[in-house]
A and B are shown apart, each in its own frame.
Chain A
Amino acid sequence: MVRKFLNRLIGRTDLSIDAVNAFVEGNASADEIQLVENLMQDNPSLERDLSTQQALLSVLGRIEKIEAPRSFAVTPEMVAAAEGQDSLLSRIAELFAPQRTLALAPAAIAVIAAVGVALLTIGDVTGVVDQSSSSRSESFSTAEIAESADGGSLSPGVAGVAGAPGSPGSSDSSADMFTTEKASSSGAATAAPAAAVAPEFDSADDSVVGESMEEAPVAGLVGPDTDSQEPEPPSLMMEASADVQSTNAVDSASIAGSLDEDASIQQTQRNTGETDTDSGVLAGDGASSIAPEAELAYAEDTAFEPASSNDGISLPLWQLQAALAALAIAAIGAWAGLRRARGG
Protein backbone atom coordinates (compact mmCIF):
# COMPACT_ATOMS: atom_id res chain seq x y z
CA MET A 1 0.00 0.00 0.00
CA VAL A 2 2.77 2.42 1.01
CA ARG A 3 4.79 1.48 -2.03
CA LYS A 4 1.83 2.11 -4.33
CA PHE A 5 1.24 5.45 -2.68
CA LEU A 6 4.88 6.48 -3.07
CA ASN A 7 4.90 5.32 -6.67
CA ARG A 8 1.87 7.42 -7.42
CA LEU A 9 3.49 10.33 -5.67
CA ILE A 10 6.59 10.24 -7.82
CA GLY A 11 4.69 9.28 -10.97
CA ARG A 12 5.97 5.72 -11.13
CA THR A 13 3.87 2.61 -11.48
CA ASP A 14 4.12 -0.56 -9.57
CA LEU A 15 6.51 -2.99 -11.25
CA SER A 16 3.73 -5.55 -11.48
CA ILE A 17 1.55 -3.09 -13.40
CA ASP A 18 4.37 -2.42 -15.86
CA ALA A 19 4.93 -6.12 -16.24
CA VAL A 20 1.23 -6.96 -16.68
CA ASN A 21 0.75 -4.19 -19.25
CA ALA A 22 3.77 -5.32 -21.20
CA PHE A 23 2.65 -8.95 -21.01
CA VAL A 24 -0.83 -8.15 -22.34
CA GLU A 25 0.65 -6.06 -25.15
CA GLY A 26 3.03 -8.87 -26.02
CA ASN A 27 6.24 -6.91 -25.60
CA ALA A 28 7.31 -7.99 -22.12
CA SER A 29 10.96 -8.53 -21.33
CA ALA A 30 12.26 -11.78 -19.84
CA ASP A 31 12.23 -10.27 -16.33
CA GLU A 32 8.68 -9.05 -16.78
CA ILE A 33 7.52 -12.42 -18.06
CA GLN A 34 9.14 -14.06 -15.04
CA LEU A 35 7.42 -11.61 -12.71
CA VAL A 36 4.01 -12.23 -14.33
CA GLU A 37 4.47 -15.99 -14.13
CA ASN A 38 5.24 -15.68 -10.44
CA LEU A 39 2.09 -13.61 -10.01
CA MET A 40 0.08 -16.25 -11.88
CA GLN A 41 1.32 -18.92 -9.48
CA ASP A 42 0.11 -16.84 -6.57
CA ASN A 43 -3.19 -16.01 -8.27
CA PRO A 44 -4.49 -18.71 -10.65
CA SER A 45 -7.28 -16.49 -12.01
CA LEU A 46 -4.71 -13.98 -13.27
CA GLU A 47 -3.80 -16.14 -16.26
CA ARG A 48 -7.43 -16.22 -17.38
CA ASP A 49 -7.84 -12.49 -16.86
CA LEU A 50 -4.70 -11.64 -18.79
CA SER A 51 -5.67 -13.90 -21.66
CA THR A 52 -9.06 -12.18 -21.82
CA GLN A 53 -7.34 -8.83 -21.91
CA GLN A 54 -5.07 -9.98 -24.71
CA ALA A 55 -8.09 -11.05 -26.75
CA LEU A 56 -9.82 -7.77 -26.04
CA LEU A 57 -6.75 -5.88 -27.11
CA SER A 58 -6.71 -7.73 -30.41
CA VAL A 59 -10.32 -6.68 -31.01
CA LEU A 60 -9.55 -3.08 -30.17
CA GLY A 61 -6.56 -3.18 -32.47
CA ARG A 62 -8.84 -4.19 -35.33
CA ILE A 63 -10.81 -1.02 -35.09
CA GLU A 64 -10.20 1.02 -38.20
CA LYS A 65 -8.71 4.45 -38.01
CA ILE A 66 -11.22 7.20 -38.57
CA GLU A 67 -10.75 9.59 -41.45
CA ALA A 68 -11.70 13.22 -41.23
CA PRO A 69 -14.91 13.86 -43.19
CA ARG A 70 -13.66 17.20 -44.48
CA SER A 71 -10.71 19.54 -44.40
CA PHE A 72 -10.17 21.43 -41.17
CA ALA A 73 -7.87 24.01 -42.74
CA VAL A 74 -7.74 27.24 -40.83
CA THR A 75 -8.45 30.57 -42.55
CA PRO A 76 -7.75 34.12 -41.34
CA GLU A 77 -11.51 34.69 -41.10
CA MET A 78 -11.90 31.79 -38.67
CA VAL A 79 -9.11 33.09 -36.48
CA ALA A 80 -10.51 36.61 -36.58
CA ALA A 81 -13.94 35.32 -35.62
CA ALA A 82 -12.48 33.32 -32.76
CA GLU A 83 -10.51 36.31 -31.54
CA GLY A 84 -13.63 38.42 -31.82
CA GLN A 85 -15.52 35.95 -29.68
CA ASP A 86 -12.88 36.11 -27.03
CA SER A 87 -12.59 39.87 -27.02
CA LEU A 88 -13.75 41.77 -23.98
CA LEU A 89 -16.51 43.56 -25.81
CA SER A 90 -18.00 40.37 -27.14
CA ARG A 91 -17.87 38.84 -23.69
CA ILE A 92 -19.70 41.83 -22.29
CA ALA A 93 -22.20 41.61 -25.11
CA GLU A 94 -22.69 37.96 -24.34
CA LEU A 95 -23.16 38.85 -20.72
CA PHE A 96 -26.11 41.04 -21.63
CA ALA A 97 -27.59 38.72 -24.20
CA PRO A 98 -31.34 38.27 -23.62
CA GLN A 99 -31.12 34.78 -22.24
CA ARG A 100 -28.37 35.80 -19.84
CA THR A 101 -30.05 39.02 -18.85
CA LEU A 102 -33.08 37.03 -17.83
CA ALA A 103 -30.94 35.07 -15.43
CA LEU A 104 -28.92 38.08 -14.28
CA ALA A 105 -31.88 40.30 -13.47
CA PRO A 106 -32.73 38.54 -10.21
CA ALA A 107 -29.06 38.54 -9.29
CA ALA A 108 -28.88 42.29 -9.88
CA ILE A 109 -32.01 42.82 -7.81
CA ALA A 110 -30.55 40.73 -5.01
CA VAL A 111 -27.34 42.75 -5.05
CA ILE A 112 -29.20 46.07 -5.04
CA ALA A 113 -31.45 44.94 -2.18
CA ALA A 114 -28.48 43.68 -0.17
CA VAL A 115 -26.67 46.97 -0.72
CA GLY A 116 -29.80 48.81 0.40
CA VAL A 117 -29.94 46.82 3.63
CA ALA A 118 -26.27 47.49 4.24
CA LEU A 119 -26.64 51.23 3.59
CA LEU A 120 -29.64 51.48 5.91
CA THR A 121 -27.78 49.62 8.62
CA ILE A 122 -24.73 51.84 8.22
CA GLY A 123 -26.95 54.89 8.20
CA ASP A 124 -28.66 53.73 11.35
CA VAL A 125 -25.36 53.10 13.12
CA THR A 126 -23.83 56.39 12.08
CA GLY A 127 -27.01 58.34 12.78
CA VAL A 128 -27.56 59.53 9.25
CA VAL A 129 -30.85 57.66 9.12
CA ASP A 130 -33.24 57.40 12.02
CA GLN A 131 -36.34 55.37 12.70
CA SER A 132 -39.22 57.66 11.89
CA SER A 133 -41.39 58.81 14.79
CA SER A 134 -44.56 57.92 12.98
CA SER A 135 -43.63 54.27 12.94
CA ARG A 136 -42.73 54.52 16.63
CA SER A 137 -46.08 56.03 17.44
CA GLU A 138 -47.67 53.21 15.52
CA SER A 139 -45.79 50.69 17.51
CA PHE A 140 -46.75 52.26 20.79
CA SER A 141 -50.29 52.61 19.65
CA THR A 142 -50.29 48.85 19.41
CA ALA A 143 -49.15 48.67 23.02
CA GLU A 144 -51.80 51.13 23.88
CA ILE A 145 -54.45 48.97 22.26
CA ALA A 146 -53.19 46.02 24.23
CA GLU A 147 -53.35 48.09 27.36
CA SER A 148 -56.90 49.01 26.61
CA ALA A 149 -57.73 45.38 26.13
CA ASP A 150 -56.33 44.69 29.59
CA GLY A 151 -58.85 47.05 31.11
CA GLY A 152 -57.11 50.37 31.11
CA SER A 153 -59.25 52.29 28.73
CA LEU A 154 -57.38 55.52 28.96
CA SER A 155 -55.88 56.79 25.81
CA PRO A 156 -52.78 58.91 26.08
CA GLY A 157 -54.56 61.91 24.78
CA VAL A 158 -57.30 61.63 27.32
CA ALA A 159 -55.24 60.56 30.31
CA GLY A 160 -53.97 63.94 31.15
CA VAL A 161 -57.37 65.46 30.81
CA ALA A 162 -59.81 62.96 32.03
CA GLY A 163 -57.87 60.81 34.45
CA ALA A 164 -56.59 63.39 36.84
CA PRO A 165 -59.62 65.45 37.40
CA GLY A 166 -61.66 62.42 38.12
CA SER A 167 -59.37 61.06 40.78
CA PRO A 168 -60.54 61.43 44.33
CA GLY A 169 -59.07 64.37 46.17
CA SER A 170 -57.13 65.52 43.23
CA SER A 171 -59.31 68.25 42.05
CA ASP A 172 -56.98 70.87 43.44
CA SER A 173 -53.95 69.44 41.81
CA SER A 174 -55.86 68.96 38.62
CA ALA A 175 -56.89 72.52 38.79
CA ASP A 176 -53.28 73.51 39.24
CA MET A 177 -52.32 71.34 36.38
CA PHE A 178 -54.91 72.79 34.13
CA THR A 179 -53.57 76.17 34.96
CA THR A 180 -50.10 75.05 34.17
CA GLU A 181 -51.16 73.56 30.93
CA LYS A 182 -52.92 76.65 29.93
CA ALA A 183 -49.76 78.52 30.75
CA SER A 184 -47.86 76.10 28.62
CA SER A 185 -49.88 77.01 25.63
CA SER A 186 -49.03 80.63 26.25
CA GLY A 187 -45.32 80.07 26.52
CA ALA A 188 -44.68 79.56 30.25
CA ALA A 189 -42.74 76.65 31.70
CA THR A 190 -45.12 73.75 31.97
CA ALA A 191 -45.52 70.00 31.82
CA ALA A 192 -46.65 67.65 29.16
CA PRO A 193 -50.02 65.97 29.49
CA ALA A 194 -48.13 62.99 30.79
CA ALA A 195 -47.70 64.95 34.00
CA ALA A 196 -51.32 64.32 34.70
CA VAL A 197 -50.54 60.79 35.68
CA ALA A 198 -47.16 61.51 37.19
CA PRO A 199 -48.49 62.59 40.59
CA GLU A 200 -50.14 59.25 40.93
CA PHE A 201 -46.79 57.45 41.01
CA ASP A 202 -46.14 56.01 44.35
CA SER A 203 -43.02 54.88 46.07
CA ALA A 204 -44.62 51.51 46.60
CA ASP A 205 -42.75 50.20 43.64
CA ASP A 206 -39.47 51.96 43.28
CA SER A 207 -38.42 50.03 40.27
CA VAL A 208 -41.50 50.98 38.39
CA VAL A 209 -41.15 54.53 39.43
CA GLY A 210 -37.54 54.52 38.52
CA GLU A 211 -38.34 53.06 35.15
CA SER A 212 -41.05 55.56 34.55
CA MET A 213 -38.78 58.32 35.64
CA GLU A 214 -36.14 57.15 33.29
CA GLU A 215 -38.43 56.69 30.37
CA ALA A 216 -40.68 59.61 30.97
CA PRO A 217 -38.53 62.48 32.08
CA VAL A 218 -41.30 64.96 31.48
CA ALA A 219 -43.53 63.15 33.90
CA GLY A 220 -40.78 63.02 36.47
CA LEU A 221 -39.97 66.68 36.18
CA VAL A 222 -43.47 67.71 36.97
CA GLY A 223 -43.88 65.35 39.83
CA PRO A 224 -43.26 67.60 42.83
CA ASP A 225 -46.61 66.48 44.22
CA THR A 226 -45.36 62.97 44.73
CA ASP A 227 -43.97 62.16 48.12
CA SER A 228 -41.02 60.13 47.07
CA GLN A 229 -39.68 62.08 44.17
CA GLU A 230 -37.15 64.79 44.65
CA PRO A 231 -38.03 68.04 43.01
CA GLU A 232 -35.93 68.52 39.94
CA PRO A 233 -33.87 71.62 39.45
CA PRO A 234 -35.84 74.39 37.81
CA SER A 235 -33.39 74.59 35.00
CA LEU A 236 -34.16 71.05 33.98
CA MET A 237 -37.82 71.71 34.24
CA MET A 238 -37.45 74.67 32.00
CA GLU A 239 -35.45 72.66 29.52
CA ALA A 240 -37.89 69.86 29.34
CA SER A 241 -40.82 72.16 29.15
CA ALA A 242 -39.19 74.14 26.44
CA ASP A 243 -38.69 70.97 24.41
CA VAL A 244 -42.25 69.98 24.74
CA GLN A 245 -43.44 73.46 24.09
CA SER A 246 -41.41 73.95 21.02
CA THR A 247 -42.50 70.77 19.38
CA ASN A 248 -45.98 70.20 20.52
CA ALA A 249 -47.48 73.59 20.51
CA VAL A 250 -50.39 72.41 18.49
CA ASP A 251 -51.04 69.44 20.74
CA SER A 252 -50.72 71.52 23.85
CA ALA A 253 -52.99 74.11 22.43
CA SER A 254 -55.57 71.55 21.56
CA ILE A 255 -55.32 70.00 25.00
CA ALA A 256 -55.53 73.38 26.63
CA GLY A 257 -58.48 74.15 24.48
CA SER A 258 -60.09 70.98 25.56
CA LEU A 259 -59.36 71.88 29.15
CA ASP A 260 -61.36 75.02 28.72
CA GLU A 261 -64.26 72.76 28.26
CA ASP A 262 -63.42 70.95 31.44
CA ALA A 263 -66.89 71.05 32.81
CA SER A 264 -68.48 69.50 29.83
CA ILE A 265 -65.81 66.85 29.58
CA GLN A 266 -66.08 65.95 33.22
CA GLN A 267 -69.81 65.78 32.88
CA THR A 268 -69.53 63.52 29.92
CA GLN A 269 -67.07 61.25 31.67
CA ARG A 270 -69.21 61.04 34.77
CA ASN A 271 -72.06 60.07 32.57
CA THR A 272 -70.10 57.27 30.99
CA GLY A 273 -68.62 56.19 34.33
CA GLU A 274 -65.25 55.48 32.76
CA THR A 275 -63.47 58.16 34.63
CA ASP A 276 -64.49 56.88 38.00
CA THR A 277 -63.26 53.46 37.21
CA ASP A 278 -60.03 54.63 35.74
CA SER A 279 -59.30 57.15 38.40
CA GLY A 280 -60.06 54.57 41.03
CA VAL A 281 -57.41 52.39 39.54
CA LEU A 282 -55.02 55.24 39.26
CA ALA A 283 -55.47 56.45 42.77
CA GLY A 284 -56.12 53.48 44.88
CA ASP A 285 -54.65 50.43 43.29
CA GLY A 286 -51.07 51.10 44.18
CA ALA A 287 -48.43 49.09 42.43
CA SER A 288 -50.85 47.34 40.14
CA SER A 289 -51.91 50.59 38.65
CA ILE A 290 -48.42 51.93 38.15
CA ALA A 291 -47.41 49.85 35.22
CA PRO A 292 -50.19 50.96 32.89
CA GLU A 293 -49.63 54.48 33.96
CA ALA A 294 -45.96 54.23 33.35
CA GLU A 295 -46.66 52.95 29.89
CA LEU A 296 -49.10 55.69 29.33
CA ALA A 297 -46.57 58.22 30.47
CA TYR A 298 -44.02 56.61 28.17
CA ALA A 299 -46.46 56.65 25.31
CA GLU A 300 -47.15 60.26 25.97
CA ASP A 301 -43.47 60.98 26.08
CA THR A 302 -42.70 59.22 22.88
CA ALA A 303 -45.71 60.66 21.17
CA PHE A 304 -44.52 64.08 22.07
CA GLU A 305 -40.93 63.38 21.17
CA PRO A 306 -40.00 65.74 18.40
CA ALA A 307 -39.23 64.09 15.11
CA SER A 308 -36.87 66.86 14.29
CA SER A 309 -34.79 66.41 17.39
CA ASN A 310 -32.47 64.03 15.42
CA ASP A 311 -30.26 65.30 12.69
CA GLY A 312 -30.75 62.18 10.58
CA ILE A 313 -33.35 61.40 7.95
CA SER A 314 -36.40 59.80 9.49
CA LEU A 315 -37.41 56.63 7.72
CA PRO A 316 -39.40 53.55 8.60
CA LEU A 317 -36.04 51.92 9.03
CA TRP A 318 -36.67 48.41 10.21
CA GLN A 319 -39.59 48.00 7.87
CA LEU A 320 -37.38 48.98 4.93
CA GLN A 321 -34.60 46.67 6.08
CA ALA A 322 -36.95 43.73 6.46
CA ALA A 323 -38.54 44.37 3.07
CA LEU A 324 -35.18 44.67 1.29
CA ALA A 325 -33.81 41.58 3.00
CA ALA A 326 -36.87 39.60 1.95
CA LEU A 327 -36.49 40.92 -1.60
CA ALA A 328 -32.83 39.92 -1.68
CA ILE A 329 -33.60 36.40 -0.49
CA ALA A 330 -36.41 36.01 -3.01
CA ALA A 331 -34.22 37.30 -5.83
CA ILE A 332 -31.39 34.92 -4.91
CA GLY A 333 -33.87 32.06 -4.96
CA ALA A 334 -35.16 33.12 -8.36
CA TRP A 335 -31.64 33.48 -9.71
CA ALA A 336 -30.64 30.03 -8.47
CA GLY A 337 -33.80 28.56 -9.95
CA LEU A 338 -33.15 30.13 -13.33
CA ARG A 339 -29.56 28.93 -13.34
CA ARG A 340 -30.71 25.44 -12.50
CA ALA A 341 -33.31 25.57 -15.24
CA ARG A 342 -30.72 26.71 -17.75
CA GLY A 343 -28.39 23.89 -16.70
CA GLY A 344 -25.53 26.22 -16.03
Chain B
Amino acid sequence: MTSFDEQRLIQLTRDGDYDAFNRLVVEYQDAVFGVVLRMVRNRATAEDITQDTFISAFRKISSYRGGIFRAWLFRIAKNSSLDHLRKIARRGETSIDEDIVYFSETVKDDSQDPVADALNAELARLIEHCMGGLSDDHRFAMMMIDVEGYQYDEAADSIGVSIGTVKSRLNRARARMRDCVQQDRELLPASMRLYDKEN
Protein backbone atom coordinates (compact mmCIF):
# COMPACT_ATOMS: atom_id res chain seq x y z
CA MET B 1 0.00 0.00 0.00
CA THR B 2 1.43 3.35 -1.01
CA SER B 3 1.39 6.38 1.19
CA PHE B 4 -1.09 7.97 -1.19
CA ASP B 5 -3.48 5.06 -0.83
CA GLU B 6 -3.10 5.13 2.92
CA GLN B 7 -3.94 8.84 3.16
CA ARG B 8 -6.94 8.37 0.91
CA LEU B 9 -8.25 5.51 3.05
CA ILE B 10 -7.74 7.59 6.19
CA GLN B 11 -9.73 10.41 4.65
CA LEU B 12 -12.54 8.01 3.73
CA THR B 13 -12.50 6.64 7.25
CA ARG B 14 -12.95 10.15 8.59
CA ASP B 15 -16.11 10.29 6.51
CA GLY B 16 -17.35 7.13 8.24
CA ASP B 17 -16.38 4.57 5.60
CA TYR B 18 -15.96 1.23 7.37
CA ASP B 19 -14.72 -0.58 4.28
CA ALA B 20 -11.90 1.88 3.81
CA PHE B 21 -10.86 1.53 7.42
CA ASN B 22 -11.00 -2.26 7.27
CA ARG B 23 -8.52 -2.20 4.41
CA LEU B 24 -6.17 -0.44 6.79
CA VAL B 25 -6.99 -3.06 9.42
CA VAL B 26 -6.03 -5.88 7.07
CA GLU B 27 -2.81 -4.07 6.29
CA TYR B 28 -1.69 -3.61 9.89
CA GLN B 29 -3.42 -6.24 12.02
CA ASP B 30 -0.46 -8.65 11.97
CA ALA B 31 1.94 -5.98 13.13
CA VAL B 32 -0.38 -4.66 15.82
CA PHE B 33 -1.26 -8.11 17.08
CA GLY B 34 2.42 -9.12 17.16
CA VAL B 35 3.43 -6.11 19.22
CA VAL B 36 0.51 -6.53 21.60
CA LEU B 37 1.08 -10.25 22.01
CA ARG B 38 4.72 -9.73 22.88
CA MET B 39 3.76 -7.10 25.38
CA VAL B 40 0.97 -8.93 27.20
CA ARG B 41 2.14 -12.50 26.39
CA ASN B 42 -1.36 -13.91 26.37
CA ARG B 43 -3.12 -14.72 23.13
CA ALA B 44 -6.70 -14.18 24.25
CA THR B 45 -5.84 -10.87 25.90
CA ALA B 46 -3.80 -9.83 22.88
CA GLU B 47 -6.78 -10.47 20.60
CA ASP B 48 -9.05 -8.38 22.79
CA ILE B 49 -6.55 -5.53 22.97
CA THR B 50 -5.94 -5.65 19.22
CA GLN B 51 -9.65 -5.47 18.50
CA ASP B 52 -10.06 -2.61 20.95
CA THR B 53 -7.11 -0.86 19.34
CA PHE B 54 -8.77 -0.84 15.92
CA ILE B 55 -12.14 0.21 17.32
CA SER B 56 -10.46 3.07 19.17
CA ALA B 57 -8.56 4.03 16.04
CA PHE B 58 -11.78 4.22 14.04
CA ARG B 59 -13.49 6.33 16.67
CA LYS B 60 -10.50 8.65 17.16
CA ILE B 61 -9.44 8.92 13.53
CA SER B 62 -10.14 12.64 13.64
CA SER B 63 -7.31 13.04 16.16
CA TYR B 64 -4.78 11.56 13.74
CA ARG B 65 -2.79 14.53 12.49
CA GLY B 66 -0.48 12.96 9.91
CA GLY B 67 2.80 11.17 10.40
CA ILE B 68 3.33 7.44 10.28
CA PHE B 69 -0.12 5.84 10.54
CA ARG B 70 1.28 2.52 11.71
CA ALA B 71 3.13 4.28 14.53
CA TRP B 72 -0.12 5.98 15.52
CA LEU B 73 -1.79 2.57 15.70
CA PHE B 74 1.11 1.18 17.71
CA ARG B 75 0.76 4.02 20.18
CA ILE B 76 -2.88 3.15 20.82
CA ALA B 77 -1.95 -0.52 21.11
CA LYS B 78 0.95 0.20 23.44
CA ASN B 79 -1.18 2.33 25.76
CA SER B 80 -3.88 -0.34 25.89
CA SER B 81 -1.27 -3.02 26.57
CA LEU B 82 0.37 -1.02 29.34
CA ASP B 83 -3.03 -0.31 30.90
CA HIS B 84 -3.70 -4.03 30.92
CA LEU B 85 -0.28 -4.85 32.37
CA ARG B 86 -0.71 -2.28 35.14
CA LYS B 87 -4.13 -3.66 35.93
CA ILE B 88 -2.95 -7.23 36.30
CA ALA B 89 0.11 -6.05 38.23
CA ARG B 90 -2.19 -4.33 40.73
CA ARG B 91 -4.28 -7.46 41.07
CA GLY B 92 -1.23 -9.67 41.35
CA GLU B 93 -2.46 -11.94 38.54
CA THR B 94 -0.22 -14.13 36.42
CA SER B 95 -0.77 -15.55 32.97
CA ILE B 96 -1.75 -19.15 32.52
CA ASP B 97 1.28 -21.13 31.39
CA GLU B 98 -0.17 -22.54 28.18
CA ASP B 99 -1.14 -19.07 27.03
CA ILE B 100 2.35 -17.65 27.39
CA VAL B 101 3.97 -17.05 24.03
CA TYR B 102 7.45 -18.45 23.96
CA PHE B 103 9.80 -17.21 21.35
CA SER B 104 10.76 -20.84 20.90
CA GLU B 105 7.66 -21.22 18.79
CA THR B 106 8.70 -18.48 16.47
CA VAL B 107 12.51 -18.64 16.19
CA LYS B 108 13.44 -19.46 12.63
CA ASP B 109 15.88 -22.29 12.18
CA ASP B 110 16.67 -23.81 8.79
CA SER B 111 19.17 -26.36 10.06
CA GLN B 112 16.75 -29.33 10.15
CA ASP B 113 18.80 -30.58 13.07
CA PRO B 114 16.75 -31.81 16.06
CA VAL B 115 19.52 -30.96 18.49
CA ALA B 116 19.84 -27.49 17.07
CA ASP B 117 16.08 -27.10 17.24
CA ALA B 118 16.09 -28.07 20.89
CA LEU B 119 18.90 -25.65 21.68
CA ASN B 120 17.14 -22.92 19.79
CA ALA B 121 14.02 -23.58 21.74
CA GLU B 122 15.92 -23.28 25.01
CA LEU B 123 17.65 -20.15 23.82
CA ALA B 124 14.33 -18.68 22.84
CA ARG B 125 12.94 -19.45 26.27
CA LEU B 126 15.96 -17.74 27.79
CA ILE B 127 15.37 -14.68 25.63
CA GLU B 128 11.73 -14.71 26.59
CA HIS B 129 12.68 -14.88 30.24
CA CYS B 130 15.20 -12.08 29.95
CA MET B 131 12.86 -9.84 27.99
CA GLY B 132 10.24 -10.40 30.66
CA GLY B 133 12.67 -8.95 33.16
CA LEU B 134 12.96 -5.66 31.28
CA SER B 135 10.84 -2.69 32.12
CA ASP B 136 7.82 -2.07 29.89
CA ASP B 137 9.50 0.90 28.19
CA HIS B 138 12.72 -0.97 27.51
CA ARG B 139 10.90 -4.06 26.31
CA PHE B 140 8.71 -2.08 23.94
CA ALA B 141 11.72 -0.30 22.45
CA MET B 142 13.57 -3.57 21.95
CA MET B 143 10.46 -5.24 20.53
CA MET B 144 9.85 -2.49 18.00
CA ILE B 145 13.41 -2.20 16.74
CA ASP B 146 15.27 -5.45 17.36
CA VAL B 147 12.37 -7.89 16.93
CA GLU B 148 9.93 -6.18 14.59
CA GLY B 149 12.63 -4.25 12.74
CA TYR B 150 11.05 -0.79 12.72
CA GLN B 151 13.06 2.37 12.32
CA TYR B 152 13.95 4.62 15.23
CA ASP B 153 11.63 7.41 14.12
CA GLU B 154 8.68 5.04 13.84
CA ALA B 155 9.41 3.54 17.23
CA ALA B 156 9.76 7.02 18.73
CA ASP B 157 6.46 8.04 17.19
CA SER B 158 4.79 4.91 18.51
CA ILE B 159 6.11 5.34 22.02
CA GLY B 160 5.59 9.09 22.00
CA VAL B 161 9.16 10.03 22.92
CA SER B 162 12.15 11.45 21.09
CA ILE B 163 14.49 9.36 18.95
CA GLY B 164 17.27 10.02 21.43
CA THR B 165 15.19 8.54 24.23
CA VAL B 166 14.48 5.47 22.13
CA LYS B 167 18.20 5.00 21.47
CA SER B 168 19.02 5.33 25.15
CA ARG B 169 16.32 2.85 26.12
CA LEU B 170 17.44 0.43 23.47
CA ASN B 171 21.06 0.73 24.57
CA ARG B 172 20.16 -0.07 28.18
CA ALA B 173 17.77 -2.84 27.16
CA ARG B 174 20.47 -4.54 25.09
CA ALA B 175 23.00 -4.26 27.90
CA ARG B 176 20.58 -5.85 30.37
CA MET B 177 19.65 -8.58 27.93
CA ARG B 178 23.32 -9.32 27.39
CA ASP B 179 23.92 -9.63 31.13
CA CYS B 180 20.85 -11.79 31.52
CA VAL B 181 21.60 -14.29 28.76
CA GLN B 182 25.21 -14.58 29.92
CA GLN B 183 23.91 -16.27 33.03
CA ASP B 184 23.08 -19.35 30.93
CA ARG B 185 26.07 -19.42 28.66
CA GLU B 186 25.54 -23.06 27.66
CA LEU B 187 22.48 -22.10 25.69
CA LEU B 188 24.19 -19.32 23.80
CA PRO B 189 25.40 -19.68 20.22
CA ALA B 190 29.10 -20.25 19.77
CA SER B 191 29.57 -16.66 18.64
CA MET B 192 28.26 -15.44 21.96
CA ARG B 193 30.23 -17.95 24.02
CA LEU B 194 33.52 -16.92 22.47
CA TYR B 195 33.45 -13.91 24.68
CA ASP B 196 32.67 -15.66 27.89
CA LYS B 197 33.58 -13.31 30.73
CA GLU B 198 35.52 -16.06 32.48
CA ASN B 199 37.90 -16.45 29.57
Q: Across the interface, do A343 and B149 meet the contact criterion of CB distance under 8 Å?
A: no
Q: Across the interface, do A20 and B171 meet the contact criterion of CB distance under 8 Å?
A: yes
Q: Across the interface, do A63 and B165 meet the contact criterion of CB distance under 8 Å?
A: no
Minimum CB–CB distance from B183 to chain A (whole Å) comes to 12
Which A residues lie within 8 Å of B55 (CB)? 74, 78-79, 82
Which A residues lie within 8 Å of B65 (CB)? none
Which B residues lie within 8 Å of A8 (CB)? 164-165, 168
A52 to B130, CA, bound (A): 15
A65, CB-defined interface residue at 8 Å: yes
Which B residues lie within 8 Å of A42 (CB)? none
- For chain A, which range describes its interface: under 10, 10 to 19, 20 to 34, or 35 or more residues? 35 or more
Which single member of B29, B175, B194 contacts A71 (CB below 8 Å)? B29
Known: A11-B163, A63-B147. A73 touches B34 (CB 8 A): no
B30, CB-defined interface residue at 8 Å: yes
Which B residues lie within 8 Å of A69 (CB)? 33, 43, 47
Which A residues lie within 8 Å of B22 (CB)? 73-74
With an 8 Å Cβ cutoff, the count of chain B residues facing the other chain is 62
Which A residues lie within 8 Å of B107 (CB)? 59, 62-64
B10, CB-defined interface residue at 8 Å: no
A268 to B87, CA, bound (A): 82
Which single member of B29, B91, B123, B124 contacts A72 (CB below 8 Å)? B29
Closest residue to B13 on the A side, CB-wise?
A74
A327 to B26, CA, bound (A): 58
Q: Across the interface, do A75 and B59 meet the contact criterion of CB distance under 8 Å?
A: no
Which A residues lie within 8 Å of B103 (CB)? 63
B82, CB-defined interface residue at 8 Å: no
Q: Across the interface, do A55 and B58 meet the contact criterion of CB distance under 8 Å?
A: no
Closest residue to A64 on the B side, CB-wise?
B106
Scan B143-173; emit 1 where CB is below 8 A from any A CB, else 0.
0001111000000000001111101101100
Q: Which 8 A-B pairs have the closest CB atoms?
A: A11-B162, A66-B34, A343-B91, A48-B195, A55-B192, A64-B106, A13-B164, A68-B33
Given contacts A11-B162, A13-B171, A79-B59, 6 further A-B contacts (CB under 8 A): A59-B124, A61-B149, A62-B108, A62-B109, A66-B34, A72-B32
